[in-house]
Chains A and B, each alone.
Chain A
Amino acid sequence: LAKTTQPISMDSYEGQEVNITCSHNNIATNDYITWYQQFPSQGPRFIIQGYKTKVTNEVASLFIPADRKSSTLSLPRVSLSDTAVYYCLVGDTGGGNKLTFGTGTQLKVEL
């Protein structure tokens, strides 16, 4: 299983950009990088997925350097409602390296 390492917690203020970095040194060639968000008393929710370079959708961007040993989730202009736990997962499409949730990063956004 590809192991991921994330900061346990981060604090930010409304309107700021938040970058959460995930380390995955033993990522395999077929592995994709996926981020999920979880609010209290809810199941995780898919945010974004990528393989290399940069991926952007309506809620976030994902930056992946050439060596793919880390990735950064970027949340532009966060609001109070972005307070949640963010999980970085690494896994492949063929099932050889399954997506495994770590302990995640608790993001707290304040006024």
Chain B
Amino acid sequence: EAGVAQSPRYKIIEKRQSVAFWCNPISGHATLYWYQQILGQGPKLLIQFQNNGVVDDSQLPKDRFSAERLKGVDSTLKIQPAKLEDSAVYLCASSYRPNTDTQYFGPGTRLTVL
């Protein structure tokens, strides 16, 4: 079975620029998660979708971050404008059901903001 796909794998931008990340979850997985992982820390949940609806976005900096999951499959996470502190790895994960079901993670996108 194909895993979670993410692109791009690496991105370097200047502060105040915009950037978007794409995620394609495992087929049939209704739940999709976006995490931010800063170097040396564990992943921090930014947003959780159930199908195409948002279940939890309590830790998403909504003034600059946005995410959507049109048609309940692929998802896009956008940052506009980026700040230096947004430098991190952005991980996408999916699971068949929410919460305690096994989450399958993609390889992540490493973002560097200069």
Contact = CB atoms under 8 A, between A and B. Distances in A.
B107 A104 contact: no
- Report which residue of A32, A87, A94, A99 has the largest number of chain B beta carbons within 10 angstroms of its beta carbon: A99
Interface residues of A, number: 23
Q: Is the interface of B mostly helix, strand, loop or mixed?
A: loop
Residue from B99, B102, B106 whose CB has the most chain A CB atoms within 10 Å? B99
A44 B100 contact: no
B42 A43 contact: no
Interface string A85-109: 0010001111100111111100000
Nearest to B102: A46
Contact of B100 (A34, A36, A41, A104): A34
Given A34-B100, A92-B99, A101-B44, 16 more contacts: A32-B100, A41-B108, A43-B91, A43-B106, A44-B103, A46-B102, A46-B103, A49-B102, A93-B99, A95-B55, A95-B56, A95-B99, A99-B99, A99-B100, A103-B41, A103-B42
